[in-house]
Amino acid sequence: KSGFVAIIGRPNVGKSTLMNHLIGQKIAIMSDKPQTTRNKIHGVYTTNDTQIVFLDTPGIHKPQSKLGNYMMQTAESALKEVEAALFLIDASEGLGGGDRFIIEQLKKVKTPVFLVMNKIDKVEPEQLLPMITQYNELHEFAEIIPISALKGNNIETLLEQISRYL
């Protein structure tokens, strides 16, 4: 199985930490070279039977400049290039304006979106369910997966769920 997966999320939610964790294990290639004009390769996760190319999708973030505005227009087509998108959130902070903006972009495509709730090592378990309810009201997510990118909690489950969409 193989395919492309976009990693999306506002700054500081843990995108790089998640990639580093995967790289520490099984990443074969790390590159900043553009894969297309719209997506940038973060890393390639490879096992005997699976290859997942993780991509950065800059156009989906809130525009900070004219260039950002231009990239916004490509966000929709960038999301169409992937088998699934991981929408990373900081579960210790919860829903914010940056998240709402990204969700609006995600609604434009039919690409399955995972709600990946990161930093669960900093969160009381009973806080998760109300937060899930809040996000679910905004968008229908294909999967909801709590992880800790820092501690490595539940990363195997995340990878297993991704491969179901490849």
Residues that bind ligand GDP (CB under 6 A): 9, 11-17, 118-119, 121-122, 148-150
Please check whether residue 91 is in contact with residue 12, taking contact to mean a CB–CB distance below 8 angstroms.
no
Residues in the chain: 166
Q: Facing residues of 55 across strands? A: 6, 41
Query: If you ran DSSP here, which 8-state letter would residue 68 be given?
Result: H
Both structure tokens of 80: 């169409």
Should residue 16 be labelled a site residue for Mg ion when binding is judged by CB under 5 A?
Answer: yes
Which one of ligand GDP, Mg ion, none interacts with residue 149, CB within 5 to 8 A by kind?
A: ligand GDP
Spatial distance between the Cα atoms of 59 and 76, rounded to a whole number of angstroms: 8
- Nearest distance in Å: CB 114, ligand GDP: 15
Closest to Mg ion by CB, 18 or 103: 18
CB of 133 to ligand GDP, least distance (A): 22
Report in angstroms how near the CB of residue 104 gets to ligand GDP at its nearest: 19
Residue holding tokens 């490879």?
46
Contact of residue 11 among Mg ion, ligand GDP, none (CB under 5-8 Å per partner type): ligand GDP
